[in-house]
Copies of this chain bind each other. A is one copy, B any other.
Amino acid sequence: MTAETTVAHDGAQTETLVLTLPGSTYTDPTVFARETDRIFGRRWMCAVRVADVAATGRFATVEIGGESILVVRGRDQVLRAFLNACRHRGALVCTEESGAVRRNLQCPYHAWTYGLDGALVAAPNLSSLGDIDRTRYGLVPVASREWLGYLWICLADDPPSFEDSVIGAVTDRLGDAAMIDRWDVAGLALAHREIYEVAANWKLIVENFMECYHCATIHPELTEVLPEFADGLAAQYYVGHGAEFASDVDGFTVDGSAGAAALPSLDPEHDRRYYAITINPTVFVNLVPDHVIVHRMFPRAADRTSVVCDWLYAPDVVASGHDVSAGVELFHRVNQQDFDACERTQPGMSSRAYRDGGVLVPAEHHIAQFHDWVSEMTA
Contact = CB atoms under 8 A, between A and B. Distances in A.
Given A67-B351, A351-B85, A23 B358 contact: no
A68 B354 CA distance: 12
A165 interface: no
Contacts of A214: 109-110
Chain A contact surface mostly: loop
A336 interface: no
Contact of A348 (B90, B344, B363): B90
A345 B95 contact: no
Interface string A98-128: 0000000000111100000000000111101
Quick one: copies of this chain in the complex? 3
B90 A341 contact: no
A86 B348 contact: yes
A232 B352 CA distance: 44
The interface size bin for chain A is: 35 or more
A9 B130 CA distance: 7
A213 B8 contact: no
A129 B7 contact: yes
A379 interface: no
A85 B218 contact: no
A10 interface: yes
21 contacts: A7-B126, A8-B129, A8-B133, A9-B128, A15-B126, A67-B351, A67-B352, A83-B353, A84-B351, A85-B347, A85-B354, A86-B348, A88-B359, A92-B345, A95-B344, A109-B214, A109-B217, A110-B217, A111-B217, A125-B361, A125-B363
Q: 7 closest Cβ contacts across the A-B interface?
A: A8-B130, A90-B348, A85-B348, A85-B351, A83-B353, A85-B353, A91-B345
Interface of A: 5, 7-11, 15, 20, 23, 66-68, 83-92, 95, 108-111, 123-126, 128-133, 136-137, 139-140, 155, 207, 213-214, 216-218, 231-232, 341, 344-345, 347-354, 358-363
Given A83-B351, A89-B360, 19 more contacts: A5-B133, A7-B133, A8-B131, A8-B132, A8-B133, A9-B130, A10-B128, A15-B128, A20-B90, A83-B353, A85-B351, A85-B353, A88-B359, A92-B347, A109-B341, A109-B345, A111-B216, A124-B213, A125-B363
